[in-house]
Structure formats: structure tokens, C-alpha cells
Structure 1
Amino acid sequence: MKLSTRNTLKGTIKKLELGAVNAEITLELSPGIEIVSIITKSSAERLNLAESIEAYALIKASDVAIAVD
């Protein structure tokens, strides 16, 4: 598989919460480093997502904002 996405982060699904319409997936990239994604429930089911399996976070954005206090 070839992707145009440049930011590919591999991790393990730490938490999967299925709602009526959406699913919230917490992907642990390394101990203490997590990223959360919200996708449709049907996509989570189609991908057979479950806790403890390896998955990838694919991030494609033309802008990434940074802020400080």
C-alpha cells in the first residue's frame, strides 16, 4: 500500500469506545504517548478494531497550529 500521507504513526489500540454513530480510538504510540481519533462506528467495525491490536494513525494536514501561553 502506498499513501500520500507523510505522518504515519504506529501504535497499539489502548482504548476503543463505540458510540451510536462514532468510535473514539486511543492509540498508544509509546508508553505515556497517546493520540485519540474519532471515526465512524461503521469504519471501526469494518476495520475490526479492538483493544491491544496494532494500528496506524495517518495524519494529513496542510496546516498544523502551535500555541503557547
Structure 2
Amino acid sequence: MKISARNVLEGTITAIKKGATTAHVSLDVNGTNVMASITNEAVDELKLTVGMRAAAVVKASDVIIAIDD
């Protein structure tokens, strides 16, 4: 697979919580939890399971940095 996005975070799926239409998939990326909201249909089509290796692909036009004063 080739992809144009440059931010690809590889990790292991730690949880999948399905809702009515949307699932929250948690990915452990070197000790950092990354969560994605995807359709239940996508979870089923990709056959996602806890413990499976996967990648979070981040494509955004803006990244905002904030600090506490």
C-alpha cells in the first residue's frame, strides 16, 4: 500500500468499543494511546481485533500547539 500521508503511527490495538454506528479504536503507539473514531462497518471489513498490529494515519491541514501560562 502506498499513501501520501506522512504521519503514520504503528502500534497495537488495545481496545475496540462499538457504539450505534461508530467505533472507538485504541492503539498503543510506544506507550502512547492513540484513539480513532471509525465506522462499525470499517471495523468489520478490516477484521480488527484487540492485539492486532495496525497503523494510525494522520492527515490534517493544521496542527495546533497550546501551553498553560
> Could you list the runs of 5+ residues in structure 2 that have no partner in the other structure?
none
Aligned to 1:15: 15
TM-score (norm 2): 0.94
1:49 counterpart SS class: coil
Distance of 1:23 and 1:11 partners within structure 2:
18
Q: What root-mean-square deviation, in Å, do the aligned CA atoms of Structure 1 and Structure 2 show?
A: 0.7
State the number of aligned residues.
68
Aligned to 1:29: 29
TM-score (norm 1): 0.94
Distance of 1:43 and 1:7 partners within structure 2:
20
Offset from partner CA, 1:1-60 (integer Å, 9 cap, x none): 1100100010000011011100000000113x1101100111111110110000000001
> Could you list the runs of 5+ residues in structure 1 that have no partner in the other structure?
none
1:2 counterpart SS class: coil
Q: Could you list the runs of 4 or more consecutive aligned residues of structure 1 that deviate by over 3 angstroms after TM superposition?
A: none
